[in-house]
Amino acid sequence: MRITGVKAELVAVSLAKPFVISLGVIDSADIVFVKIETDEGLTGYGEGSAPAFVSGETSESILAAVELAKPILLGASPFAIAEIHRALDAVMVRNGSAKCAIDLALYDLMAKSADLPLYAYLGGTVNRVETDMTIGIGEPAAMAATAAELTAAGYRELKIKAGSDEEQDREAIRLIRAAAPSAHLKVDANQGWTVASALRMLAYYAQFSVGALEQPLPYWDIDGMAEVRARSTIPIMADESCFTPQDASRIVRARAADTINIKLMKCGGIFRALEINAIAEAANVTTMLGCMLESRLAIAAGAHLVAARRNFVFADLDSFRDFDDSAQIKSAFDFELPDIVLSQTPGIGVELAF
């Protein structure tokens, strides 16, 4: 099977309501869909989606990167995934979301060619993945009301955004714990703290059974994260600090995290995500599969990966709940709240209208 065509399309999706985190406010998402065609009539679909303040990429840079990748892809076999990633890395560093868009389309093609749903192609046997739901920064009472609604709806895992204002964060967790007494809570500070403020907040969070603290410090402060982790009873998760397998290697050697939040858009897709997960697992570090503002295509790909590797202890695959991608996506997975139930059709199992 040889690649005969590569197409990319930019789609703007607006959110039902703005999403606030310590790094900024997000009220719409630009998504780049990629379609890879082959001489055997199979078509693979991928997606790139990344806010510039997290990854440094924009939809325009993703489109430009896909153009740069075309000479590498055209004529190649989709099964040459390792060689294609090597060649992509040789022409552009980083650009994880652009590489992800290509990578997902290639995995979609490989699994379709094997006539297997992607989770089975990757070696898994289950097609059901539980996701958490994220609560953005807002008025603490409103955040608590949202927590009560979500747990009443059936979510068992909630991820709480923090890192802008310590007093507000304290009040939020107190009210949320009261409103959702049995929920498993994770807090994500999105790089908002220092070592000192992280330790203060961790001491406070300990009384509310917070199950994990994600990215307390700026992404570059691995030493600081190791110090926080050494002094914390709450498990520490690395997110913005880990884009690549090399980042993961550095984090586990520094003993800086209990869990690594892998996102397909940070690392360049499933091929590198598998590498990061293997590095983490070999160091007795668990993983979570997180997401950017992704449509049901990339969310489905992430869920296939989680379904195929038991080292993923959490899935934070909730972005598709916030926006309407029905104009672009004809069919995807079923959502039996809080479970994503993957389609048994070959590949990622998502059909695009493009």
Give which of 91, 96, 29 is closest to 57, Cα–Cα: 96
What minimum distance in Å lies between the beta carbon of 269 and Mg ion? Answer: 19
Comparison of 132 and 214: residue with beta carbon closer to Mg ion: 214
Binding track, positions 156-195, relative to Mg ion; x by CB under 5 A: --------------------------------x-------
Strands 43-48 and 128-130: unpaired
Q: Tokens 């802008």: give the residue.
A: 164
What minimum distance in Å lies between the beta carbon of 137 and Mg ion? Answer: 13
Neighbouring CB atoms inside 10 A of 304's CB total: 31
What minimum distance in Å lies between the beta carbon of 287 and Mg ion? Answer: 13
Catalytic residue list contains 161: yes
Query: CA-to-CA distance for 330 and 13, rounded, in angstroms?
Result: 15
Count of residues that interact with Mg ion, criterion CB under 5 A: 3
Query: CA-to-CA distance for 169 and 172, rounded, in angstroms?
Result: 5
Q: Looking at 35, 159, 161, 266, which residue is catalytic?
A: 161
Q: Which residues contact 287 (CB under 8 A, 6 or more apart)?
A: 259, 260, 261, 262, 276, 277, 280, 281, 309, 311, 312, 313
Omega before 338 within 30 of 0, i.e. cis: yes
Catalytic residue list contains 263: yes
Catalytic residue list contains 159: no
Query: CA-to-CA distance for 175 and 303, rounded, in angstroms?
Result: 31
Residue span binding Mg ion (CB under 5 A) among the ranges 98-106, 238-246, 325-333, 337-345: 238-246
Catalytic residue list contains 239: yes
What minimum distance in Å lies between the beta carbon of 140 and Mg ion? Answer: 20
Neighbouring CB atoms inside 10 A of 217's CB total: 26
What minimum distance in Å lies between the beta carbon of 186 and Mg ion? Answer: 9
Catalytic residue list contains 214: yes
Give which of 33, 32, 35 is closest to 44, Cα–Cα: 35
Among 103, 239, 247, 294, binds Mg ion (CB under 5 A): 239
Residue span binding Mg ion (CB under 5 A) among the ranges 42-50, 112-120, 233-241, 279-287: 233-241
Neighbouring CB atoms inside 10 A of 316's CB total: 22
Binding track, positions 188-227, relative to Mg ion; x by CB under 5 A: x-------------------------x-------------
**By the rule CB under 5 A, 30 interacts with Mg ion:** no
The closest residue (CB) to Mg ion is 239
**By the rule CB under 5 A, 132 interacts with Mg ion:** no
Q: What is the DSSP letter of 105?
A: H
Q: Are 15 and 293 in contact (CB under 8 A)?
A: yes
**By the rule CB under 5 A, 316 interacts with Mg ion:** no
Residues 77-106 that bind Mg ion (CB under 5 A): none
What minimum distance in Å lies between the beta carbon of 288 and Mg ion? Answer: 9
What are the residues binding Mg ion (CB under 5 A)? 188, 214, 239
Query: Annotated active-site positions, please?
Result: 161, 188, 214, 239, 263
